[in-house]
Homo-oligomer: A and B are copies of this chain.
Amino acid sequence: MPQTESPLGVTNISVLVELPNLMSQAPILITGGTGFAGSHLVEALLAKGETNIHVTSFSNRPSFVSNLLPPSQIHTLDLTNGKAVSELLINLKPAQIYHLAATATVGNSFDHAQKIIDDHSRLQINLLEAIRHHDIAARVLAIGSALEYDTTPTSPHLVMDENYPIGPVSPYAVSKTLQSMLALAAVRTHHLDIVVARPFNHIGERQGPGFVVADFAAQIVKIERGLQTEISVGNLAAERDFTDVKDMVRGYIMLMEQGKTGEVYNLGSNKVYSIQLILNWLVEAAKAKISVTVDPQKFRPLDIHSIIADNDKICQLGWQPTENIKSTVLRILDWWRQQQ
C-alpha cells in the first residue's frame, strides 16, 4: 500500500481505485468517525485498502474526514436517538462497527454527571438494541477507558492489567465503565459479538485542546504568534501512559480482526511520561521564549498520579506501539502551527 509520511505528519494515501469490486466489501461503520481517533481510524482503514467505510457525525460541519470519504459515506445523526440508529443499521447492514462516539470531557464532568451518564448510556444501549432487534450481523469494537480502573491508591506507579479492580473516580469514568458493562452484558445475555478496548491516553493531530498535549501545543503556537505571553499549566507531576493515536487505531483494527468476543483489552504503551517532560520537549521546540505558570484551576478534584497499561494481552495478538512519543509530540506542535 503506497503511503508516505510528510515531515509535518500528514499521511498521503493513494487509494487503490483500480480494484474492480471494492463496493462489494462489507460495510464498515465508525461511530464518531469524524472525531479525533475516528479520523485517524478512517485513514488507517483506507491505507489497508478498505473503501466501504461509513462514519457518523453529530454535526454536518465539514471535517477532516470530508476530504477522505464521499458525502454518501458520512451520516449526520444524533446517536442518542434510538430510531435514527436503528434506521442507519437497517439501511447500512455493517459487518463491522467501530463504536468510537463519545463525549470526550473528563475535567469538567463533575458538574455534568447526569448529562454524561444519559448521553453515554444512550450511545451504548441504542446501538446494542438496534443490533439485537434487527439481527444486524456485525462485530462491534466498544471503546471503554483506562479510567474504568480504580486509580485511587497512592502507589507511585499503578500498572494495570485487564483484571485490575474497577473503580472509576470521575462521572466521565463512571459513564465509560457503564458503557463497557452494557457491552459485556450484551455479550453474556444476547450473545452479541463485541470486543472491548480500554485505551490509555493517546495523542495526535486533530485532538481537541481540552487534552493536555494539544492544550500545551496550542498555547505555544499562540505565544509564537504573539497572541499570548505565557503558558498556563496544571499538574506537571502527573505521569501518563501516552500512545500515538496512529498506534492506537492500529490496535483497534487488530482487535476488530483478532480480538476474542466478550474480552477486554488494554491499549497502551506500558511506558510512562510525566507531563513535565512533555512540556520540556515542547518548550525546547518552541520558536519563542516560553514562560510557564501553574494554574491550580487546571487541577482536577482528584488528580491521579500515574497510571500505566499492562499491555501483554494485546501484545500477544502482535500489537506493539511503533511511534516515538517525542516525535509524536513535535508532530502535534507542527500540526497546531498549520491551524489558523
Nearest to A151 among chain B residues (CB) is B188
Tell whether, in the assembled complex, residue B174 and residue A185 are in contact, meaning their CB atoms are under 8 Å apart.
yes
A296–chain B nearest beta-carbon distance, Å: 16
Tell whether, in the assembled complex, residue A110 and residue B184 are in contact, meaning their CB atoms are under 8 Å apart.
no
Query: Chain A at the B interface: mostly helix, strand, loop or mixed?
Result: helix
Q: Which of A114-141 contact B (CB under 8 A)?
A: 114, 117-118, 121-122, 125, 129
Instruction: Give per-residue flags for A160-193: 1 if the beta carbon is below 8 A from chain B beta carbons, else 0.
Output: 0001011111110110011001101100111000
Tell whether, in the assembled complex, residue B163 and residue A181 are in contact, meaning their CB atoms are under 8 Å apart.
no
Identical copies in the complex: 2
Tell whether, in the assembled complex, residue B302 and residue A189 are in contact, meaning their CB atoms are under 8 Å apart.
yes
Is A113 an interface residue when CB atoms closer than 8 A count as contact? Answer: yes
Query: Size class of A's contact patch?
Result: 20 to 34
Contact partners of A71 in chain B: CB under 8 A: none
CA distance A170 to B152 in the complex (A): 28
Is A301 an interface residue when CB atoms closer than 8 A count as contact? Answer: yes
**Given contacts A114-B121, A178-B174, are A168 and B152 in contact (CB under 8 A)?**
no
Tell whether, in the assembled complex, residue A189 and residue B121 are in contact, meaning their CB atoms are under 8 Å apart.
no
Instruction: Give per-residue flags for A80-111: 1 if the beta carbon is below 8 A from chain B beta carbons, else 0.
Output: 00100000000000000000000000000010
A94–chain B nearest beta-carbon distance, Å: 22
Contact partners of A163 in chain B: CB under 8 A: 165
Tell whether, in the assembled complex, residue B121 and residue A188 are in contact, meaning their CB atoms are under 8 Å apart.
no
Contact partners of A129 in chain B: CB under 8 A: 113
A173–chain B nearest beta-carbon distance, Å: 7
Contact partners of A152 in chain B: CB under 8 A: 188
Contact partners of A173 in chain B: CB under 8 A: 185
Tell whether, in the assembled complex, residue A117 and residue B121 are in contact, meaning their CB atoms are under 8 Å apart.
yes
Tell whether, in the assembled complex, residue B165 and residue A174 are in contact, meaning their CB atoms are under 8 Å apart.
no
Contact partners of A178 in chain B: CB under 8 A: 117, 174, 178, 181
Tell whether, in the assembled complex, residue A182 and residue B171 are in contact, meaning their CB atoms are under 8 Å apart.
yes
CA distance A199 to B58 in the complex (A): 41
Report which of B118, B184, B301 forms a contact with A118, defined as CB distance below 8 A.
B118
Nearest to A166 among chain B residues (CB) is B166
Knowing that A165-B166, A167-B181, A168-B181 touch, tell me 8 more A-B residue pairs with CB under 8 angstroms: A82-B114, A113-B125, A113-B129, A152-B188, A167-B188, A174-B182, A174-B185, A177-B181
Closest 9 CB pairs of A and B: A117-B121, A174-B181, A166-B166, A189-B301, A189-B302, A114-B125, A169-B188, A113-B125, A152-B188
Q: Can you list 20 residue pairs at the A/B interface with Cβ under 8 Å?
A: A114-B121, A114-B122, A117-B117, A117-B125, A117-B178, A118-B118, A121-B121, A163-B165, A165-B166, A167-B181, A168-B181, A169-B185, A169-B188, A169-B189, A171-B185, A173-B185, A174-B181, A174-B182, A177-B181, A188-B302
**Which residue numbers of A lie inside 8 Å of B, CB to CB?**
82, 110, 113-114, 117-118, 121-122, 125, 129, 152, 163, 165-171, 173-174, 177-178, 181-182, 184-185, 188-190, 301-302
